[in-house]
Copies of this chain bind each other. A is one copy, B any other.
């Protein structure tokens, strides 16, 4: 059952019911334009990650601003995008198991769809299924460039898998997936830059080895919000996959405060709107937004515009605030905007963006890939 929207178009912000996921359209559009301009300036393609927003409306806005398509992590997420009008999707992940592979190929027959692989058995399964479907599926080899999560090791192991793909009947070798997720959240600017330099070296070495063996990497795709200027300037990557830049979150903001750049060009646009539902003590207020309204995996949210108010602890349906300034008035019923610690899993809890401009609800956008984990 899709939940009802917590607002109606035209409503003043103050009347929006809570908890609600707010999108500040001015900030969102600024972020949209800025990364598009940065990618164009650097001469690299932009393919933003839809796992952050899970909303075809936003994907189409990104493409209208110059993105070539979007990334997805799951087949069901890609289905929501393609059936929402998005014509070009890279599944930047491994797809394992016959039911998911069949759905991936069905989608590849309807739109430009590519996928990543890091395993010979998986490549064989993709090949068999693509051949049976009569679809030629573009496949990128995922290379472990430092995250130590998925991916084959650089150079020889990547070459072996690329050769298998290139030599298959149903697949087409399309390039490399080289994403260093861990680097995005390294607080220190210099160390973050070094991590991407090391990733660039591994990627460059792999691209050159493949080229010497007659395998051209049409795509070298990767990068995220915390590091994209490094990848864009490297001469190695030709496609950026940043996702969080349209929203930002409290964790990314911790990076930015420390170093100034890069990323400081983006503004928080995503908020969880919450109501004070209990004021049991002078220094304590309780909000109606807890673990089912925001994800705390990367730390507690911050309270927008109130540095003296701390979101101390989340329980299932409550957020406990500590009021450090005894002069802070925050009476029962007051509404506050929280900047979530981590935008992606927070968005995944909601069915609607309440899109606002000048403190008025301008649109309600459905999050059609909410819960799309299959």
Chain A residues numbered 107-143 whose CB sits less than 8 Å from any CB in chain B? 118-119, 121-122
Chain A residues numbered 63-94 whose CB sits less than 8 Å from any CB in chain B? 73-74, 76, 80, 93-94
Question: In the complex, are the beta carbons of A277 and B349 less than 8 A apart?
Answer: no
Stretch at the interface among A231-239, A301-309, A314-322: A314-322
Q: Does A152 contact B (CB under 8 A)?
A: yes
Stretch at the interface among A40-48, A214-222, A258-266, A280-288: A280-288
Question: In the complex, are the beta carbons of B297 and A296 less than 8 A apart?
Answer: yes
Q: How far is the CB of A332 from chain B (nearest CB, A)?
A: 6
**CA A49 to CA B148, docked complex, whole Å:** 41
Stretch at the interface among A30-38, A95-103, A200-208, A357-365: A95-103
Contact check: which of B118, B150, B345, B374 meets A3 at CB < 8 Å? B374
Q: Does A12 contact B (CB under 8 A)?
A: no
Q: How far is the CB of A338 from chain B (nearest CB, A)?
A: 13
Question: In the complex, are the beta carbons of B332 and A349 less than 8 A apart?
Answer: no
Question: In the complex, are the beta carbons of B374 and A51 less than 8 A apart?
Answer: no
Question: In the complex, are the beta carbons of B291 and A17 less than 8 A apart?
Answer: no
Question: In the complex, are the beta carbons of B345 and A371 less than 8 A apart?
Answer: no
Question: How many chain copies does the complex carry?
Answer: 2
Q: How far is the CB of A62 from chain B (nearest CB, A)?
A: 18
Contact check: which of B99, B286, B342, B350 meets A150 at CB < 8 Å? B286
Contact check: which of B76, B286, B373 meets A149 at CB < 8 Å? B286
Contact check: which of B18, B118, B315 meets A280 at CB < 8 Å? B118
Question: In the complex, are the beta carbons of B333 and A351 less than 8 A apart?
Answer: no
Q: Which 10 A-B pairs have the closest CB atoms?
A: A150-B278, A73-B317, A291-B345, A96-B277, A3-B371, A94-B277, A292-B348, A316-B344, A19-B373, A1-B368
Task: Report 18 cross-chain contacts, Cβ distance below 8 Å, ordered by A residue.
Answer: A1-B368, A2-B2, A19-B374, A51-B316, A73-B316, A95-B277, A96-B333, A119-B332, A121-B332, A149-B280, A150-B286, A150-B318, A153-B280, A291-B297, A292-B344, A295-B295, A297-B297, A349-B371
